[in-house]
Amino acid sequence: MDDHKENIHSADGNVNVSNGDDDNKLKPGSTICPKEKEDAPRASNSDFSHAVYKEISLANGQINRMSKEELRLKLSQLKLDTRGVKDVMKKRLKSHYKKQKLTSSAAAAGDAGQADAYYDYICVVDFEATCEEDNPPDFVHEIIEFPMVLINTRTLEIAGTFQEYVKPELCSKLSDFCVQLTGITQETVNAAQPFPLVLKQAVKWLEEKELGTRYKYTFLTDGAWDMSKFLNIQCRLSQIRYPQFARRWINIRKAYRNFYKVPHIQIKLSTMLAKLGLQYEGRPHSGLDDSRNIARVALRMLRDGCRLRVNEHLHAGQLLPAPAWAAEEGAPPPRWPGNRR
């Protein structure tokens, strides 16, 4: 089922049909995001000739030579999660040692580290939209569910959830296929508000959490299409500007592939969960349940030592890799974007 999401055709022309691999969702000619160097140790005031990097590199070499059983045993001795495939376990152990060595080295140097530069919150969004079986090339998707799950990156807990259904205005009748796929009924969307009003509620919810004002935050999606396609198309249909605060986001598939060094295969939510040794919880294609499960993957990555960073953005209607300088910059305060003129 997930495969289809990657093959939705856009009438909008911004996003091209993909073969399912996330990087291929970029427009032809756009540059691929430089690989995130998650393996590279980070320290605020050190260069890589410091002895600590040699130690980390030696530890990494040893971990690379360990069997799956040895990895499992070591993780269990360290009271770390032992679930997941070999590559996931390796990465978890490497991150553990890296963090340990850098922390002690920073403590010895009196360096407090960079914790404060990181996002306080990550907001997972997974839109559901109108669809048909095999979505014809000219099919115009309208958002029918707007869910958000907020992750506190310090406590590694879910700090809140938001869910509103949306009344489609262009084509108000859901296809049987769409009802079956998403579990969202005609009655539910009939009783819902149109997108601009739901977006206003979403902005209010984000504002109440003091995101972008008191706390640094960014968005996270499973693939690039939630923002670059569903939200982009919906804003045009609703005659509103594209919201500034949703211009940059973390594409978790890209981050996951780079962090765990997963071979260049199709990555989707079910694959990410399975490789981590986790099962999907809830109903697939319910926007809120999808968001919760994406958040579980993100939490697992944060616990494994990944500093999830913005890696994609929308510029002049085009999906592009995020520039390096924007990687850790938080999203601006949420604001109603205003009507298109």
Binding range to ligand AMP, per CB under 6 A, among 96-104, 124-132, 195-203, 257-265: 124-132
Closest CA to 167 of 116, 237, 104: 237
Enumerate residues 294-333 that contact Mg ion by CB under 5 A.
none
Do residues 306 and 276 make contact, with C-beta atoms less than 8 angstroms apart? no
Q: How far is the CB of 285 from Mg ion (least distance, A)?
A: 5
Q: Which of 22, 126, 142, 226 binds Mg ion (CB under 5 A)?
A: 126
In 25-126, where do the E strands start and end?
121-125
- Regarding 182 and contact with ligand AMP (CB under 6 A), the answer is yes
Binding range to ligand AMP, per CB under 6 A, among 126-134, 204-212, 233-241, 246-254: 126-134
- Regarding 290 and contact with Mg ion (CB under 5 A), the answer is yes
Q: Which of 22, 126, 142, 164 binds ligand AMP (CB under 6 A)?
A: 126
Among candidate residues 36, 38, 128, 164, the one labeled active-site is 128
* Residue 228 binds which of ligand AMP, Mg ion, none (CB < 5-8 A, kind-dependent): none
Q: How far is the CB of 181 from ligand AMP (least distance, A)?
A: 6
Enumerate residues 241-260 that contact ligand AMP by CB under 6 A.
none
Q: Is 285 a catalytic residue?
A: yes
Chain residue whose CB lies nearest ligand AMP:
4
- Report the distance separating Cα 309 and Cα 327, nearest Å: 5
Do residues 67 and 61 make contact, with C-beta atoms less than 8 angstroms apart? no
Roughly what angle, to the nearest 10 degrees, separates helices 51-64 and 86-108? 160
Measured from the CB atom, the residue of 84 and 223 that comes closer to Mg ion is 223
Do residues 326 and 304 make contact, with C-beta atoms less than 8 angstroms apart? no
Strand, helix or coil at 56? helix
DSSP 114-137: SGGGS-SEEEEE--EE---TT--T
Q: Is 50 a catalytic residue?
A: no
Residue 259: left if φ>0, alpha if ψ -120 to 50, beta else—which one?
alpha
Distance of CA 121 to the CA centre of its chain: 12
**What amino acid positions are annotated as catalytic residues?**
128, 285
Q: Catalog residues that contact ligand AMP under the rule CB under 6 A.
A: 1-2, 4-5, 8, 126, 128-129, 131, 135, 141, 181-182, 285, 290
Q: Catalog residues that contact Mg ion under the rule CB under 5 A.
A: 126, 290
